Amino acid sequence: MDYRSTRKVEIVHLNSQAPESDQVCVEEPLQLRLVGPPDGPTPIAVTLRTPGDDLDLVTGLLFTEGYIDKPDEIEDLSWGDPFDFNTLDVTLRYPLPSYLEPNGAPRFINSACGACSKTTLSQIASRSPVSEAALTVPRDLVVKLPDQLRLQQEIFDATGGIHGAGLFDCHGNPVVVKEDVGRHNALDKAIGWVFRNVLSPHTVLESSILCVSGRVGFEIVYKAARAQVSTIIAVSAASSMAIDLAGQLNMTLAGFTRSGESTIYCGEFRLR
């Protein structure tokens, strides 16, 4: 657990007047700047995140937001100058496609919403591949994954208030689990970690099951689809747009996965 991801605050319980200290998760802005031929550094986004795993976060965010298609398009990741843990400069090997060139003020991405930074829903859908994954998932594994995710959540143990996103293999073994104050950031961190640490990232992602600690909104399905993750298991509900997009893209989506039960919204054909 990164030392910057939590901090102590002074509190008083409702039924006690004695001051105490408690751990809370940290939320801070991270400015993302692109550096590359021919321009840079150009601010393109500010996201609110929990510090820690920032290189993974930015790698995953650039991929799921469509700025890159492969991790080797990133030449270098470096902290802002003067040294600043809340600014990351990303040097790309190639110029940005014209339709992705940043213009105007950098976008603001809050803790609750990732894909809302996109300009149109049609742009999102057009960049999401229809899943052809041959992955099958044991039904008894579906209800076990939230507990497996929970076992890996160190920051939640310390604070009781942070989202988790984990990628697991078809046997329930964790590939990677990440945490963040933003559920979409936690997923970007997990995807970015795979890109930065695995020799065949797309093969691993295609064969992984995503489990998230809260609800599933549109942006979670979109980001998973961009990474070719076909199956999403959630502890809480899914939104209507999330269900519609998952169905449109031939994905498997399950919610309310707890106490040995789960609600399958679409893609039951992958369950065995």
The catalytic residue positions are 113
Task: Copy the structure tokens of residue 178.
Answer: 């990440």
How many whole angstroms separate alpha carbon 164 and alpha carbon 152?
A: 9
119: buried, middle or exposed (CB in 10 Å: 19+, 13-18, 0-12)? exposed
Are 143 and 262 a contacting pair, CB within 8 Å? yes
- Cβ atoms of residues 271 and 262 within 8 Å: no
Give the CA radius of gyration of the chain.
Answer: 19
Cβ neighbours of residue 221 under 8 Å, at least 6 residues apart?
232, 242, 245, 246, 249, 251, 253
Closest C-alpha to 163, from 141, 139, 188: 188
Q: Which token pair is 140?
A: 């008894």
